[in-house]
Amino acid sequence: MFPIEYFIGLMLIGICAGFASGLLGIGGGFLIVPLQYFLLKYIGVEPDLAILISFGTSLAIIIPTSLSGAYRHTRTMDNIIKPGIRLGIFGIIGGAIGGFAASMMPSRALEIIFGCLLLFITVNNIISINKEREEARIPFNLVTTGVIGVLVGFSSGLLGVGGGIFLIAILTALLGFSMIEAIGTSSIFICLTAIGGFLSYVVSGWGVSTFPYSIGYVSLINFALIACFSVPFASLGAKFAHRIPQKKLKIVFSLLVLYMALKMLGILP
Question: How confident is the model over 90-142, as pLDDT tens digits?
Answer: 988 888 888 788 777 776 787 787 778 778 777 777 776 666 666 667 888 88
3-state SS, the chain, equals: CCCHHHHHHHHHHHHHHHHHHHHHCCCCHHHHHHHHHHHHHHCCCCHHHHHHHHHHHHHHHHHHHHHHHHHHHHCCCHHHHHHHHHHHHHHHHHHHHHHHHHCCCCHHHHHHHHHHHHHHHHHHHHHCCCCCECCCCCCCCHHHHHHHHHHHHHHHHHHCCCCHHHHHHHHHHCCCCEHHHHHHHHHHHHHHHHHHHHHHHHHHCCCCCCCCCEECCEEHHHHHHHHHHHHHHHHHHHHHHCCCCHHHHHHHHHHHHHHHHHHHCCCCC
pTM of the model: 0.76
Contact 23, 236 (CB under 8 A): no
Tens-place pLDDT, residues 19-45: 887 787 676 777 788 889 999 999 999
Q: What is the pLDDT of residue 12?
A: 95
Q: Could you give the CA distance from residue 66 to residue 216 in angstroms, rounded to a whole number?
A: 22
Q: Could you give the CA distance from residue 120 to residue 107 in angstroms, rounded to a whole number?
A: 20
Q: Could you give the CA distance from residue 41 to residue 47 in angstroms, rounded to a whole number?
A: 6
Q: What is the pLDDT of residue 11?
A: 95
Q: Could you give the CA distance from residue 18 to residue 15 in angstroms, rounded to a whole number?
A: 5
pLDDT tens for the chain, 269 residues long, are 788 999 999 999 999 888 887 787 676 777 788 889 999 999 999 988 998 999 899 889 988 888 887 887 788 787 888 888 999 999 888 888 887 887 777 767 877 877 787 787 777 777 766 666 666 678 888 899 999 999 888 877 777 666 777 788 788 877 888 878 888 888 888 888 888 888 888 998 898 878 899 999 999 999 999 999 988 998 888 888 778 877 777 787 778 778 777 877 888 76
Q: What is the pLDDT of residue 254?
A: 79
Q: Could you give the CA distance from residue 93 to residue 89 in angstroms, rounded to a whole number?
A: 7
Q: What is the pLDDT of residue 161?
A: 67
